[in-house]
Amino acid sequence: MTRNPSSPPFTIRSHQPGDMGYITYRHGAVYAQEYGFNYRFESLIARITADFLDNFKPHLEGCWIAEKDGSFLGCIMLVQDKKPKTAKLRLLLVDESARGLGVGTALIQQCINFAREAGYEHIDLWTQSILEGARRLYKKAGFEMVETLNHNEWGVELTGEFWTLSL
């Protein structure tokens, strides 16, 4: 495949109507297929996206979509945490077709830049040990793992990991 060097490989935009439903669908489908997660995982994603829309504070929170020619390549969300001066990174997903193209790195950097501009001092996130690609990206961005927790929330045995980044 020949790539036109003058055209960007992808763009990142803020969420629009319809995106939260698609984010929920993609998370449910991808995580079931790739990791065997059950319907409770999709239910969690639906609650996260609904809570985001119901409580959205544009000056403190955001959701971004990476796309190429209108096709979804990935997404990420940043929300205000209950802890003071802390944001929570959520719902990073990069479509299999876009992995290795810098989409995940760009989405994480979008969150970090936004968090700094919004005045946050920390970004926290929760991921799973089996998500090796995401873990590499978080580490590369400067996040540090601070705690682990074994669980079976979505029908498979998992080790959840809590990570943080000081801004």
Per-residue pLDDT tens for 123-160? 999 999 999 999 999 999 999 999 999 999 999 999 99
In this prediction, residue 100 carries a pLDDT of: 82
**Residue 90: Cβ within 10 Å count:** 20
φ, ψ for residue 65 (rounded to 5)? -120, 130
In this prediction, residue 77 carries a pLDDT of: 99
The runs of H, that is alpha helices, within the chain are: 19-35, 39-55, 103-118, 132-140
In this prediction, residue 89 carries a pLDDT of: 99
| Integer Cα distance of 112 and 127 in angstroms | 17
Angle at 165 between CA 62 and CA 20, to 5 degrees: 25
In this prediction, residue 8 carries a pLDDT of: 65
Q: Which domains does the chain have, with CATH numbers?
A: 11-120 (3.40.630.30)
Sorted by sequence, the CB contacts under 8 Å of residue 98 that are 6+ apart come out as 10, 66, 68, 73, 74
For residues 139 and 129, the answer to whether their CB atoms sit within 8 Å is no
Within the chain, which residues score under 70 in pLDDT? 1-8
In this prediction, residue 5 carries a pLDDT of: 53
For the entire predicted model, the pTM comes to: 0.93
In this prediction, residue 1 carries a pLDDT of: 38
